[in-house]
């Protein structure tokens, strides 16, 4: 695939928050054709996309079409984005791969390897081994494998924030893991998806701040597996912020041996030297939610205690972009040989 090729993407679930963000990014992508927008629900077929998102009003060229494999074949679809429930992705991703269509799945269907972690989704197997073919779509860790992947499991938003904040420390073996790792993460309400619930109702969220899914959040397994931790070494607590979008993760760790601030900074910057979408802040500056919202950047900063062993890492990103749709398009760029930052920077 050459840099001048124009591929045909399709999106199932474009009317959701993540699907909408993918749609916006692909509509301004210089290397792809206008995305085919597909609906699973009969009631949505034929509706102008601007009916779901009036900010696109006036662009009458895009409407939701009923999903079918015949339609994907007729339109020559090269890559299928699944912004669908986990159960749907588990059914459709293997079928798409069998038909020669590459898949970027934004659900949790194919992210996990260990049975005890998959259990949080209710999955009893990996669909006859198909899951082993899916590549975990975190470019900063798996860039070469993503380029060759037929199926990419797009990471969870919390997991992306915590993994990127921890990876340089864990993989350079500078942490005292027996001391434990604490990830205290907060997300805006859009992380819960577009379908309203009593918990995400404005009256419940506004002027409030709450923890949820303590010790059983679905993204915990991703962090453990990708960093090769033991379950007992990680304490992950998610919180709901009364904001629309954004994640801030405060990560507490202990170093094996004393390090200087300059050494920690060099460790992070060396690790992410080739990663265009990770910005490492120089102390004492720390990331804040509004620095990274509406971008595909993950911002990372840290503070080192006077004892030079206690370290706090702060990792921020936009849960709908680097935590979901932006990362999905970043993965597509890698899969088809486009510039990694195409449509994202």
Q: Is the peptide bond before 284 cis (omega within 30 degrees of 0)?
A: yes
Q: How far apart are CA 178 and CA 172, in angstroms?
A: 16
Q: Say if residue 151 is exposed, middle or buried (CB neighbours under 10 Å; 0-12, 13-18, 19+).
A: buried
> Nearest-CA neighbor of 181 among 191, 169, 190?
169
Roughly how many angstroms between the first and final C-alpha of the chain, as a whole number? 22
Nearest 5°: the CA angle 312, 313, 316 is 145
What DSSP assignment string belongs to 67-103? --HHHHHHTT--EEEE-S-HHHHHHHHHHHHHTT-EE
Q: How far apart are CA 146 and CA 142, in angstroms?
A: 6
Q: How far apart are CA 315 and CA 158, in angstroms?
A: 10
Task: Please tell me whether residue 313 adopts helix, strand or coil conformation.
Answer: strand
Q: How far apart are CA 56 and CA 62, in angstroms?
A: 10
Which pair of tokens denotes residue 238?
A: 């998610």
Q: How far apart are CA 166 and CA 268, in angstroms?
A: 9
Q: How far apart are CA 8 and CA 31, in angstroms?
A: 9
User: In Å, how far are 85, 297, 341 from 93, measured between CA atoms?
Assistant: 12, 28, 26
> Among all residues, which ones are annotated catalytic?
157
């Amino acid at each position: 695939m050459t840099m001048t090729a124009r591929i045909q993407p399709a999106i199932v679930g474009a009317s959701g928050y993540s699907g909408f963000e993918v749609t916006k990014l692909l509509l301004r992508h210089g290397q792809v054709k206008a995305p085919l927008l597909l609906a699973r629900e009969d009631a949505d077929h034929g509706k102008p996309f601007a009916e779901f998102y009036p900010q696109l009003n006036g662009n009458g060229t895009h409407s939701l079409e009923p999903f079918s494999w015949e339609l994907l074949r007729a339109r020559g679809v090269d890559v299928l984005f699944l912004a669908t429930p986990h159960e749907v992705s588990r059914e459709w991703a293997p079928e798409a791969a069998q038909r020669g269509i590459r898949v970027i799945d934004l659900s949790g269907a194919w992210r996990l390897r260990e049975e005890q972690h998959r259990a949080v989704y209710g999955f009893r197997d990996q669909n006859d081994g198909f899951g082993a073919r899916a590549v975990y779509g975190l470019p900063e860790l798996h860039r070469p494998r993503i380029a060759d992947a037929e199926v990419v499991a797009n990471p969870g938003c919390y997991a992306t924030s915590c993994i990127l904040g921890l990876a340089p420390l864990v993989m350079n073996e500078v942490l005292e893991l027996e001391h434990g790792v604490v990830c205290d993460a907060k997300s805006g309400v859009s992380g819960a998806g577009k379908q309203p619930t009593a918990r995400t109702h404005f009256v419940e969220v506004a002027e409030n701040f709450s923890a949820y899914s303590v010790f059983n959040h679905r993204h915990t397994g991703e962090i453990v597996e990708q960093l090769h931790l033991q379950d007992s070494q990680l304490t992950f607590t998610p919180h709901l912020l009364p904001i629309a979008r954004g994640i801030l993760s405060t990560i507490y760790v202990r170093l094996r041996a004393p390090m200087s601030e300059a050494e920690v900074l060099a460790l992070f910057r060396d690790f992410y030297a080739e990663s265009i979408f990770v910005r490492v802040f120089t102390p004492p500056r720390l990331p804040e939610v509004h620095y990274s919202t509406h971008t595909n950047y993950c911002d990372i900063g840290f503070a080192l205690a006077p004892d030079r062993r206690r370290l706090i890492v702060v990792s921020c990103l936009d849960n709908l972009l680097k935590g979901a749709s932006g990362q999905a398009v970043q993965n597509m760029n890698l899969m088809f040989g486009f510039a990694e930052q195409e449509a994202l920077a």
